[in-house]
Structure 1
């Protein structure tokens, strides 16, 4: 397999993995706040806030991708997702 095809497959596989984890986190955030007793309107406003900063993140990610390369940017993003997800395993007192 030539390096261009290998790089394409690595980037595509990483993007798919990132897309799945990002979508799962979105749903978990919405469901978590619903379970905490927030009203549907409050959950919608939280989701709107979340989506707004998703736009900001995409702008920053696009800038970084143009500056340092898409492959490195994507792997940094995946590492950040892993770190954020691993924070669910720490005691609540560490997070406040």
Structure 2
């Protein structure tokens, strides 16, 4: 979905402001990076439109964007890159 389509869809949905499912605050439209874990594999999605709760950080993709991403993953239409990430052992406390 291109930015114009997303804006059009978003404006249409503005009549009813989206509320966060976790804390019920109003969601805010954003564009940026998201990390998705699907079937145990980590995907970094760049330049994606989503809505985020400023209170709790919950992030939500539109159904159209979700469908597009899952289709690209299924069709292997992505670039594989090696990225270094910090890893912490969870044996604290």
The TM-score range, normalised by the shorter chain, is: under 0.3
TM-score between both structures, scaled by the size of structure 1: 0.25
Answer 1 or 2: which has greater strand percent: 2
TM-score between both structures, scaled by the size of structure 2: 0.25
Larger Rg: 1
